[in-house]
Amino acid sequence: MIRSSAGWMAMRVVGLTLGVGLAVIVPSFAGSPGDGAERVFADQLRASHVPGGALSIVTRGGTGAVGVGTAGDDAATATTPFVIGSTTKSFTALAVMQLVDSGDVDLDAPVREYVPELSLAEGQAVNSITVRHVLQQTSGLDDLSGGSLLASAADGSPLQAVAELKNAELMSRPGEAWRYANVNYVLAGLVVERASGMSYADYVARRIFDPLGMEDSTAKGPPPNVSPVTSSGSACPLGRDQSCAGP
């Protein structure tokens, strides 16, 4: 689950979302998925203690979408917006690589070239961490770096989350080993902002969503003409603004 703050770029699997976060609506198509698939999906949701979701199936006979269960106080539908958690990382990586292609980001440059605020415990090889390392999850940072949830990622800004790393120690030398850490994508999202001169949310909207015709997806607030999912147990689709009452 992502709670996106200030165009968050990571995911709030821990409490982070830079990722942000992205909210995506499952497209509604003519027709509906088979009853059998819908039953299986509903059974899986119940078994996982997930209140609701949307299912889209593509077959030779066509494509259909349907909502199952509930979203907050309402029934889930094919057009209910859902936050997409760490799937946001794919959008963040795409954004970085677009900037690599345009010559605005050097994959092998120290990430501090774009985020000079990054600081670790004394003696740590912080200047050896490159953009490539954060994208590949080989920076040496651990997912517990800066605290169990990187507290600022939930309600603060990306830079506040980065500031929590000031006493963090690397678990391995940069580039030496793979280790999943949400903070890598907080840093990647900041690289997008610094290199593009745009907020993460604006960049994703202009360079990814708009060209792909993803009119119902957003990285900073509820999609237009759609009520956000804000009831207990849910989160406002990406981008928590002042009107979003999600937890």
Residue owning tokens 């677009």: 98
Query: CA-to-CA distance for 176 and 173, rounded, in angstroms?
Result: 5
The residue with greater pLDDT, 167 or 151, is: 167
236 Cβ neighbours under 8 A, 6+ residues apart: 3, 221, 222, 228, 229, 230, 244, 245, 246
| Helices first, then strands: H and E counts in the chain | 8, 5
Query: CA-to-CA distance for 91 and 78, rounded, in angstroms?
Result: 22
Indicate the domain borders of the chain: 27-79, 86-204
Q: Is the pLDDT of residue 2 over 70?
A: no
Pick from 7, 15, 74: nearest CA to 238: 7
Residue 64 has what pLDDT? 83
CATH topology of domain 86-204: Beta-lactamase (3.40.710)
Query: CA-to-CA distance for 29 and 160, rounded, in angstroms?
Result: 42
Residue 63 has what pLDDT? 81
- 222 confidence band (pLDDT: 50, 70, 90): low
52-65 tens-digit pLDDT:
888 888 778 788 88
**Centroid of chain to Cα 115:** 19
Residue 110 has what pLDDT? 98
Model's pTM, two decimal places?
0.74
Phi, psi of 235 (to 5 degrees): -140, 150
Structure tokens at 14: 């821990």
Phi, psi of 127 (to 5 degrees): -75, -10
- 111 confidence band (pLDDT: 50, 70, 90): very high
27-42 tens-digit pLDDT:
444 444 466 788 888 9
